[in-house]
Amino acid sequence: MVNVLMHRDELLQKLQQQVEENDVSEEYSSWVRGEISSSAAASPTKRCRFFDKHGFIFIPGFANANEVDSMKSTMKEMVDNDWEPNDEKTQVFRTDEGQLEEQGTSDYFLDSATKVHFFAEKDAIDENGKLKVRYHSDKIAALNKAGHGMHLTPGPFQDYTQSEKVGKLLRELGWQEPCVPQSMYIFKQAHIGGEVTSHQDSTFLHTTPRQTCIGLWLALDDATFENGCMWIRPGSHHEPLRRQFVRNPKHFGESLAYDGSHDEDCSCPQMIFRQLNDNKHVKWEGSIPENSELPDCEGLYGNGFVPVPCRAGDLLAFCGHLDHLSLPNYSSKARHTFQLHCIEGKDTTWSKDNWLQSDIAFMKL
């Protein structure tokens, strides 16, 4: 682990040198705000300049041990008390070719916008859609994620979300009126924790007239090569958004809501992917580049991806256009994370065809 962290730090130093080689000009390019004058940018900080150039920043020790432990213990209590996986068909979450089938056919996913719903790993479910017997006494070990209203539940998740350091960081990076559409807890289970395929977060959290999504990825366990640390492609945030995950008008009708309209057809999938731009060099959208298996990961390195291993408490913040993924967890240790997704609340609109639609206003930070 020490050598891996040293390699990460060497990479970050090289990327920082690229930032320092370019002086801030009179017209500073902010990812979230666009071209703004240097005076309006209020002399962007070193972290902000790194973020805007490369699409991400890494902050070690952003959360302390008490915050991390409190989130993990609270999640354990929530699973034990609130998740009854065999009451009906257990909901699975996946990001591979089965994503539309799993997330596009059930109101359980839609209804999680302001609640905490639980989604299992596909390999923890039997052929009848029930939790495998081996997980009956250890339910938490079967979960892929919980979401998407973690931040709305009083306790450590809400406390962290509303903490001064989160709001201060977002404003430092250029968000003027940040708000939170969703949050989630990712489990990345030992042995069965599946891959998260290549994607851009703005695919799922779309705003107009410009994209403003930012992901705040907080490690609650050490994230290593073996247990599925994050891989990012620095600079890819300058590329256009490739596709959008939207409510299907054939299912919901033109209103995109269950309003009793006669143009609804519930036999059609709830969600579809809308193709926006054909980035021909990105051949791995919704998958993983070929030849990306451990230990060499040649396909990832060859296509510009770099790993970002973390200690528990470290934070990775990245733009909604940044291409990122994670490999399966091949280890005997889980890799828990808590993730916030925020958007700009000033002069932007939450897309009405996003999958997530809330009946309450988004939390302001």
Q: Is the pLDDT score of 104 beyond 70?
A: no
Structure tokens, 326:
């994670």
For the segment 185-189, the average pLDDT, to the nearest whole number, is 96
Distances in whole angstroms, Cα of residue 30 to Cα of each of 50, 221, 237, 274: 11, 32, 12, 27
For the segment 227-234, the average pLDDT, to the nearest whole number, is 96
Distance CA 298, CA 289 (A): 9
Q: Is the pLDDT score of 93 beyond 70?
A: no
For the segment 294-314, the average pLDDT, to the nearest whole number, is 95
Q: What is the pLDDT of residue 170?
A: 98
pLDDT classification of 256: cutoffs 50, 70, 90: confident
For the segment 103-115, the average pLDDT, to the nearest whole number, is 79
- Among 7-21, 106-120, 300-314, top mean pLDDT goes to 300-314
153-158's contacts with Cβ under 8 Å and 24+ in sequence apart are 153/116, 155/70, 155/74, 156/67, 156/70, 156/71, 156/74, 157/71, 157/74, 157/183, 157/185, 157/338
Q: Which tens digits make up the pLDDT trace of 203-217?
A: 999 999 999 999 999
pLDDT classification of 291: cutoffs 50, 70, 90: very high
Q: Is the pLDDT score of 122 beyond 90?
A: no
Q: What is the mean pLDDT of the chain?
A: 89
- Among 103-107, 108-112, 224-228, 283-287, top mean pLDDT goes to 224-228
Q: What is the pLDDT of residue 346?
A: 95
CB 184 within 8 A of CB 150: yes
- In 3D space, the residue among 160, 209, 212 whose CA is nearest the CA of residue 341 turns out to be 212
Q: What is the pLDDT of residue 253?
A: 83
- In 3D space, the residue among 135, 133, 98, 134 whose CA is nearest the CA of residue 118 turns out to be 135
Distance CA 365, CA 167 (A): 6
Report which of residues 57 and 286 the model is more confident about. 57
Q: Is the pLDDT score of 25 beyond 70?
A: no
pLDDT classification of 97: cutoffs 50, 70, 90: low
Report which of residues 337 and 120 the model is more confident about. 337
Q: What is the pLDDT of residue 41?
A: 52
Least confident of 129-133, 160-164, 188-192, 193-197: 129-133
Q: Is the pLDDT score of 261 beyond 70?
A: no
pLDDT classification of 173: cutoffs 50, 70, 90: very high
- In 3D space, the residue among 213, 242, 230, 218 whose CA is nearest the CA of residue 319 turns out to be 213
pLDDT classification of 40: cutoffs 50, 70, 90: low
Q: What is the pLDDT of residue 105?
A: 59
Distance CA 220, CA 310 (A): 9
- In 3D space, the residue among 175, 183, 51 whose CA is nearest the CA of residue 116 turns out to be 183
Distance CA 270, CA 249 (A): 8
**Whole-structure pTM value:** 0.92
Q: Is the pLDDT score of 92 beyond 70?
A: no
Distance CA 167, CA 104 (A): 33
CB 327 within 8 A of CB 227: no
For the segment 153-176, the average pLDDT, to the nearest whole number, is 97
For the segment 82-90, the average pLDDT, to the nearest whole number, is 72
Q: What is the pLDDT of residue 262?
A: 64
Q: Is the pLDDT score of 43 beyond 90?
A: no
Going by DSSP bridges, is the β-strand pair 315-319/143-148 parallel, antiparallel, or unpaired? unpaired
Q: Quickly tell me which residue has 């230990």 as its tokens.
A: 295
